[in-house]
Amino acid sequence: MLTAGQISKELKGELIGNSDQIIDSVSKIDMGQKNSISFLSNPKYEHHLKSTEASVILVSKTQILPELNFKTFIKVDDPYTSFCIILGKYFNPQTHPQGISTQASIGENTNTDETMYIGEYSSFGKNVKLGKNIKIYPNVFIGNNCQIGENTILYAGVKVYENCKIGNNCIIHCGTVIGSDGFGFARQNDGVYIKIPQIGNVEIEDNVEIGANATIDKATMGSTIIRQGVKLDNMVHIAHNVEIGKNTVIAAQTGISGSVKIDEGCVVGGQVGFVGHIYIAKGTQIGAQSGISKSITEENTKWIGSPAIHLKDAFKSQVIFKKLPEMDKKLNELEKKFREK
């Protein structure tokens, strides 16, 4: 039986209320239920502290609490992270299958052992190195000479081309393609395009998660590199010879052209487009649907728009843009007066 006191002790939090309060479920704060644990991290939901039916609520150490004797609060440094820890440890129902299907195709010199799960119709090439406790779901393809690290999960339909490397504790969701050819063609004088052979690979470091139907192209030469801790959303496209710095997060439908280098700790919104051969500095934040046409060399800056500009400049421009109809009207009136003279 899980209690508020146990949770508070585990999170090293400050408990205010009933330490014996039973917790048997989790809930959103605006949809709280009796005996559930919830959290408050966004101030816009603060009004739910009084109305929620949740019995235990994780809040920040600076949160001012309402006077509610029937509620139990646990003050922590980061309510969202703390809630994720509790959710993962006590309320995550996901379990993976076990065993190696007899309908899987295992190539020559590819290792397997009892710690792995390999699903039906998955296919492995030659000389594939597989780490312990990996989970390979049905219809996955892994080409010759690939490496897959320990505790990594490849969901159904993932395709990994030859010579690619995936680290430990990675998660790659359905339909993603790792190591497809980069978009490399040489235009001839007669207008015909000749394919440039793509002979590199993709290297993905530890603790990376990649969403469904993403595509990461192999390098023309060398490696396309995804550093440790990177999180890519669904349908992200990474072109050849790109390097994504550690702990960078990129939202859905973003496209990154060839040879772009994005430094560590960046945050990229959805549907952002990058031209090729540019550098994005450490800690850069880019708003959704922005177009990045040149390098960003100043660290920890915010950008938005197409072409992208500093966020503070974008706000100033929006003020002017809203005034354009009024300015246009005044200009027409001045022109009319000028003509009358």
Residue 340 falls inside a structural domain: no
Task: Tell me whether residue 42 is in a domain.
Answer: yes
pLDDT of 69 over the 80 cut: no
Residue 140 belongs to a domain = no
Q: What is the pLDDT of residues 234-287, one digit of tens each?
A: 999 999 999 999 999 999 999 999 999 999 999 999 999 999 999 999 999 999
- Please tell me the total count of domains within the chain: 1
What residues contact residue 270 under an 8 Å CB cut-off, 6+ apart?
233, 251, 252, 253, 254, 288, 289
If DSSP codes are grouped into helix, strand and coil, which group holds residue 308? coil
Q: Is residue 240 annotated as part of the catalytic site, yes or no?
A: yes
Does 50 fall in a domain? yes
Is 290 within the bounds of a domain?
A: no
Average pLDDT over residues 165-182: 98
pLDDT for the residue numbered 281: 98
Specify which residues 279 forms β-bridges with: 261
Q: Could you tell me if residue 270 is inside a domain?
A: no
CA distance 107 to 59: 52
Which of helix, strand or coil describes residue 280? strand
For residue 15, being part of any structural domain is answered with yes
Cβ atoms of residues 71 and 59 within 8 Å: no
Segment 153-161 shows an average pLDDT of: 98
- Determine the residue type at 130: L
Question: Contact at 8 Å (CB) between 48 and 29?
Answer: yes
CATH number of the domain that residue 9 is part of: 3.40.1390.10
Give the separation between CA 248 and CA 262, rounded to whole angstroms: 8
Given the structure tokens 């379990």, which residue do they identify? 95
Tokens, residue 303: 């950008």
> Pick the catalytic residue: 47, 240, 277, 310?
240
Render 89-143 in DSSP notation, one character per residue: HHS-------EE-TTSB--TT----TT-EE-TT-EE-TT-EE-TT-EE-TT-EE-
Residue 13 pLDDT > 80 = yes
**Is pLDDT at 223 greater than 90 in this prediction?**
yes
Q: What is the pLDDT of residue 341?
A: 67
Among candidate residues 172, 142, 147, the one with its CA nearest the CA of residue 160: 142
Rounded to whole angstroms, what are the CA distances from 89 to 36, 95, 245? 15, 13, 29
pLDDT band at 94 (very low <50, low <70, confident <90, very high): confident
* pTM assigned to the model: 0.86
Decide if 292 is inside a domain.
Answer: no
Could you tell me the sign of the dihedral formed by the alpha carbons of 40, 43, 45, 51, in that order? positive
> Tell me, what's the pLDDT at 22?
92
Percent of the chain at pLDDT > 70 equals 100
Question: Would you tell me how many other CB atoms lie within 10 Å of the CB of residue 315?
Answer: 10
Give tens-digit pLDDT for 77-93.
999 999 999 998 898 87
Domain that holds residue 27: 2-90
Could you give the residue ranges of the DSSP H alpha helices within the chain?
4-11, 48-51, 79-90, 311-340
